[in-house]
Amino acid sequence: MILDKYPAVLQAVPGGKILLTTTDDFINLGRKYSIWPLTFGLACCAIEMMAAYASRFDFDRLGVIPRPSPRQADLMIIAGTFVKKMAAPVREIYHQMPEPRFVIAMGSCANCGGPFHDAYSVVKGVDKVIPVDVYIPGCPPRPEALIYGVMELQKKIMRMKLAKGGGATLQAEKGSRDPAGGA
Ligand code: SF4
């Protein structure tokens, strides 16, 4: 059960049980099981991403449900070769997503340019344009690898804290460069 590993205090009282927890844990648990990725793929890795949504792997059981609009999504999976021409649109779409938002770089191309590292048109890693939370190696990574990457993101979400202003902070953990910077 979810509550077995939940960071909370479960105490028996007369007539039932009482659950004590923190706002952070409560909100993080909701975020953890409702990760909604943007429906968005760039190249061959996107085929593996689509397979992860299909019946054999069934991403839905983790609460991962693709959304067609960046305004409804909180995860961007960069699945494919990231060319310079796509840098500006991807940055714009990223900023259209509500916070807290997350990015997974799926495959060698998204991580560092992959087999096209030497090409003039390829960005040597999507983290030169937007901050990345989880990197998944492989060319291509299998759907199981993407699922593992999402589970690592879930662990990261459970460590999030609410900032004083009410927003969630995770920026310090991100291996990010300037998101407003150029490719
Ligand atoms: S990492 Fe490999 S499979 Fe993925 S987009 Fe690049 S060339 Fe295609």
pLDDT digits (tens, 9 = 90+) for 73-128: 999 999 999 999 999 999 999 999 998 999 999 999 999 999 999 999 999 999 99
Per-residue CA distances from 117 to 59, 151, 176, 178 (Å): 30, 28, 20, 21
| Alpha carbon nearest to ligand 1 atom 2, residue | 139
Q: How far is the CA of 115 from the centre of ligand 1 (A)?
A: 8
Provide the pLDDT confidence category of residue 164 given band limits of 50, 70 and 90.
Answer: low
What is the rounded CA–CA span in Å between residue 56 and residue 54? 6
Provide the pLDDT confidence category of residue 180 given band limits of 50, 70 and 90.
Answer: very low
What is the rounded CA–CA span in Å between residue 145 and residue 105? 12
Of 59-63, 143-147, 171-175, 179-183, give the range with the top mean pLDDT: 143-147
pTM given for the model: 0.83
The least confident of 9-23, 112-126, 166-180 is 166-180
Taking the CA of residue 44 as reference, the ligand 1 atom at the shortest distance is 8
Task: Tell me which of 83, 112, 139, 142 to substitute to probe ligand 1's pocket, judged by most ligand atoms within 8 Å of the beta carbon.
Answer: 139
Mapping DSSP to helix (H, G, I), strand (E, B) and coil, where does residue 67 land? strand
Beta-strand pair 168-169/9-13? unpaired
